[in-house]
Structure 1
Amino acid sequence: MRNHSVISEFFLLGLSADPQIQPLLFVLFLVIYLLTLMGNLMLLLVIGFDPRLHIPMYFFLRQLSFLDLCHSSVTVPKLLENLLSEKKTVSVEGCLAQVFFLFASGGTESCLLTVMAYDRYVAISSPLLYAQVMNRQLCMGLVWASWSLAFLDALINILVALKLDFCEAQDIHHFCCELSSLYPLSCSDVTASFIALLCSSVLHFFGN
């Protein structure tokens, strides 16, 4: 299941190569990233310390804020690093790790949004039974199920992707590693990985 790549790193070319624009982009993305961190951390703290917000809706919202922190932290730090460096590279292993965590965090967020929609459906359709139906055990189970399904999906996709060989092409025309952006760079058959990715997309589409 290991990767038999000849090359050891990729070049991320998704943003401008103009050295005059890169510092501006760095400041812009840094400010956005810090605001994202601060906003989500504040939301986590407020929900955690206010007993009045210890209800299913805010429980799921707290999970969503944590996922937003994780999802943005998978790509933005590497983006900021590349904006300041001349050689905008990422190792093959680091690229595949980024793909895995993008799948895991993005998939969990997608599942959690479905769970939150179900929570609102129960609140509207059965307001008198809402507290009994959406009890703490069910809420925790739904969150764990979201994490488990997303990590299983990410694991399946990354295990199939580990069989891809990368021989010559190294340029990724994107600011982060995505599975679809690796297919043009592979010198081996990508059919199995593409089918796994397609099945994941279909499942997420119908799940939401």
Structure 2
Amino acid sequence: MHRWLGTSVAAALLLTACVTINVYFPAAEAKEAAREFVEKVIGDDAKSPATPEAKPDSSVPTTPGGSASLMPVSRRGFDWLSLIGIASAHAQESADINIKTPAIQAIQGRMATRFRNQLQAGFDAGALGLTRDGMIEVRDAGKLALKDRVAITQAVADDNRDRKAVYREIAVANGHPEWEAQIRQTFAQQWIASARGGWWYQDAGGWKQK
């Protein structure tokens, strides 16, 4: 009997030690951070569409007060881990996206200055375009004045370097370097969403004009 109890306690402690916290990528927070960053860079003229309000999941029954009710055991299955005090083996932890670090704000400042002084004219002329992976490309150099081509091409290269750096820096600054690809994709979508009418952007089908 004592041996069985000792084995049970050891098993319970082992299960407790194996509980992991899965930190999910906060897509909504990342989208809002991207919107704030992008609109600060390109100015206030371009406004992205308002994010629709999230609708409650109709599959989860609620009480008259609006809070989620407990589903019967027959529907959700019995949680055997609860017998030994483990609520869930895959708890989730939410996270916010911080874009206010000195390094991130320094990159943002450089990009905003570069956009006003050099890149905006290229976008307005149709010479530059936003790529589907969050970068900038010279899509039609013929629409740039000959005297400006070298400078704007260099500005595009500088901006792309800053873009790569800021996607990486945001992921690292928020403690999740593995989020870099998701941060980059979120920003890629936001650059296009915030683009002004007449600007060119790239999607799976090629170049399109907004």
Q: Which structure ranks higher in relative contact order (CA pairs < 8 Å, sequence separation ≥ 6)?
A: 1
Query: Normalising TM by the smaller chain, what interval?
Result: under 0.3
Write 1 or 2 for the structure with the bigger share of strand.
2
Structure exhibiting the larger radius of gyration computed from Cα positions: 2
TM-score (norm 2): 0.27
